[in-house]
Structure 1
């Protein structure tokens, strides 16, 4: 992996945690998973043990082992491996942060604790500061996802003066649709070299216009190639092409949202597209139905795939 001093930018795949039919972690396919991301999707940054990875449904020992496997298998292949170390317990989060530093992770990220919640910006900053201090040489990112945590503290407010309290702070994963909040995060911190990583895949182009420097999301596991084409079009100021790519991605996401889209369905789609078995989710989540998988396969074919072989190349020809 590259030096952690390099700014985290571009696409970051929120990795799935592969499981066996019995609900145990299937470590054996992670090496294949790394190669697939790099070679088929052109994605070389990953975000491990987050929402998509069912991180908070794993035990602490499982989270440690998953992190170790991704770092080991990604060495000399991936650019950056960021480990989500957020937990309800400060001590557990610190333990995971320290472990991430020991295994050579390129960054750590933390969500707000969501059972006994911080009541204001200072409470949240104090919690994040203590976690970051457990890995004092590792870049630190805040994972803002209020729809799941229920913590409504605006990211704009949190960023004010945060680097003075958390010297390793490098940016945030912004998984919310509040573009006013996101835009103000960018606007008010232009002088700082923060990474502004957007986390709502179907709205990425809007965030790029507002100054996003990258994106973290589940669809980049199987739509990374197409999304990279959108990024390239945006970089060369071909907004018409970029918009066409975004609309193409939206057509697929809109379709699966209507069917019911979450971690279970992401695992099913990834298995279908990559050919790598992701297995079922861990309870209380339920496996995606065969009807869902059949509908998704038909939709992907309608977007330009002629066969499963085409599907595994993730080449949305109809959206070119």
Structure 2
């Protein structure tokens, strides 16, 4: 059973104790795919409500094995004022190529036509190993709201190719393997969405500051 009453306290803790001002709701660590659709909606609503005027962004993961469920969650996220939505690839009947994957993503994104859309790339869990670099060609024409990628894979070559292709800086790449974040930053990642920043946010912010100076020796210490 979900406990909505603690979310207000959680938001205050993230902001005041960890200097974390962006959240990713109903993702992997949040066990979103283990919840029913009503529970996911309730959590999304409460995070948006409690994050108002405190958090900069509340991105809701709306991926599901069922396309209609994912579309319903996307429409709901738009209605409650989410800052963005994210979707993983379907993991049972998997897309066989980039065109099938983009077609799936487009059907979800179209239900929230003004909400920034992110592809949640996590092949260790979905088994979908289509390189993100392949997806970038023409994706903006198919999904006008496409904003970027939550890149949760250790394949830094694919990430580097994405960033090289992103010459006009149309997209953002948020890295999702916490223990490799410094390497991803060196390649050009824009930020991170991870499973440890809720309690290691302060140290991660110190690493980001050291990297920006740049003081790589200090950044390595915090990594």
Name which one, 1 or 2, has greater alpha-carbon Rg.
1
- Residues of 2 paired with 1:221 and 1:190: CA distance? 32
1:221 equivalent to 2:187? Answer: no
After TM superposition, list the pairs within 5 Å mapping 1:177-192 onto structure 2.
Answer: 177-192=154-169
- Residues of 2 paired with 1:202 and 1:245: CA distance? 10
* Pairing partner for 1:210 from 166, 180, 187: 187
Cα displacement (A) at 1:166: 0.4
Tell me, which stretches of 5 or more residues in structure 2 are unaligned? none
- Residues of 1 paired with 2:29 and 2:220: CA distance? 26
**Which residue does the alignment assign to 2:30?**
53
After TM superposition, list the pairs within 5 Å mapping 1:1-320 onto structure 2.
Answer: 24-246=1-223
Tell me, which stretches of 5 or more residues in structure 1 are unaligned? 1-23, 247-320
* Number of aligned residue pairs: 223
Alpha-carbon RMSD? 0.6
- Residues of 1 paired with 2:205 and 2:89: CA distance? 30
Q: How far does the alpha carbon of each residue in 1:87-123 deviate from its partner, in whole angstroms, 9 at most, with x for none?
A: 1111110100000000000000000000111111000
Does 1 or 2 have the higher relative contact order (CA < 8 Å, sep 6+)? Answer: 1
Cα displacement (A) at 1:201: 0.3
Cα displacement (A) at 1:192: 3.0
Q: How far does the alpha carbon of each residue in 1:294-319 deviate from its partner, in whole angstroms, 9 at most, with x for none?
A: xxxxxxxxxxxxxxxxxxxxxxxxxx
- Residues of 2 paired with 1:90 and 1:141: CA distance? 16
Cα displacement (A) at 1:163: 0.7
What is the SS of the residue equivalent to 1:197?
strand
Cα displacement (A) at 1:193: 2.5
Q: TM-score, normalised by structure 1?
A: 0.69
- Residues of 2 paired with 1:35 and 1:210: CA distance? 32
What is the SS of the residue equivalent to 2:193?
strand
Q: TM-score, normalised by structure 2?
A: 0.99
- Residues of 1 paired with 2:207 and 2:157: CA distance? 23
- Residues of 1 paired with 2:169 and 2:192: CA distance? 18
Q: Which 4+ stretches in 1 moved above 6 angstroms?
A: none
